[in-house]
Structure 1
Amino acid sequence: METPHIRPATRPDIDAVLRFWREAAEGTSISDDAEGLTRLLTRDPGALLLAEREGSVAGTVIAGFDGWRCHLYRLAVAPAYRRQGIARALLAAAEARFTALGGRRGDAMVLRDNARAQHAWRAAGYGPEEHWRRWVKPLA
């Protein structure tokens, strides 16, 4: 298996990333639009990591660090490239980023009903903390 090329996304990647997520990601987020990604790339330019194969997006992960916690979102791999180590490579890059920034623990947002994702996260060494519950309030 060829190691994917991993790099931070830039503004010219936004449309390709949004198309990729419609194909490869499970669920949607209120921030899954050009405005949301532009804001992310402006605020934390290295947070959105892309894995590339054959000149196109093969996988993504958002590795956001707020100075306190390391948050992982939008781990997705194109169906044609699954089970080839792309998610593992993306998470290794995200964890290296967090370590370089002084992060101590990564946490991931994983849909409760996405069994495939839960298996992938467990295989990468992550586990649920059942005593926490996510509370949200839409601001827009």
Structure 2
Amino acid sequence: MTDLIIRSSTPDDVTALLEFWRTAAEGTSISDDEDGVGRLIARDAEAVIIAERDGRMVGTVIAGWDGWRCHLYRLAVDPGSRRQGIGGALLEAAEQRFTALGGRRGDAMVLERNELGQRAWRAAGYAPEPQWRRWVKKF
């Protein structure tokens, strides 16, 4: 995977992120619009981590940090690029970010119907907390 580039977002990525999530992410959110994503990037561009290969977006994860907890959203990999370690590389970058910020545990919101996503999170070492319906991993 030496040709994979992991980078933070820029304001120029807003439209591409929304287009990518339409094909690669499961489900939508009320904040899936240019204003919502633009606000996120303006506030904390490093929270949006992008994987690129040959200049093309192939994966994303949002690694949100509120100063106390680490939250993961929008882990998505291009359907034609799955099972190549991209998701793992994105989560590793997110976990490094969290550790550098002082975070100790990440949690992820995973749709119950998203079996593919649940398998990916489990493979990365995350486990469900049924009482909260969230997935967590300590690091």
TM-score range, shorter chain: over 0.9
RMSD of equivalent CA atoms: 1.1
Instruction: Report the count of equivalent residues.
Output: 134
1:131 Cα deviation after fit: 1.2
Kindly state the Cα deviation for residue 133 of structure 1 after the two structures are TM-superposed: 4.9
1:18 deviation in Å? 0.6
After TM superposition, the structure 1 = structure 2 runs for residues 1-140 of structure 1, keeping only pairs within 5 Å, are: 1-133=1-133
CA contact (8 A) 1:4 1:89 kept: no
**Structure 1 alignment gaps of length 5 or more:** 135-140
SS of the residue 2:97 aligns to? helix
**Counterpart-to-counterpart distance in 2, 1:96 and 1:25:** 23
Corresponding residue of 1:138:
none
Q: Contact 1:59–1:77 (CA<8 Å) still a contact in 2? A: yes
Taking only the aligned residue pairs, the percentage that are identical comes to: 66
Letter in structure 1 aligned against 2:99:
T
State the alpha-carbon separation in 2 of the partners of residues 70 and 37 from structure 1: 18
Shift of 1:42: 1.5
Give the TM-score taking structure 1 as reference length: 0.92
TM-score if structure 2 supplies the norm length? 0.93
Structure 2 gap segments, 5+ residues each: 135-139
Structure with higher strand content: 2
Extract structure 1 runs of 4+ deviating beyond 2 A: none
Tell whether the 8 Å contact from 1:11 to 1:38 is kept in structure 2 after alignment. yes
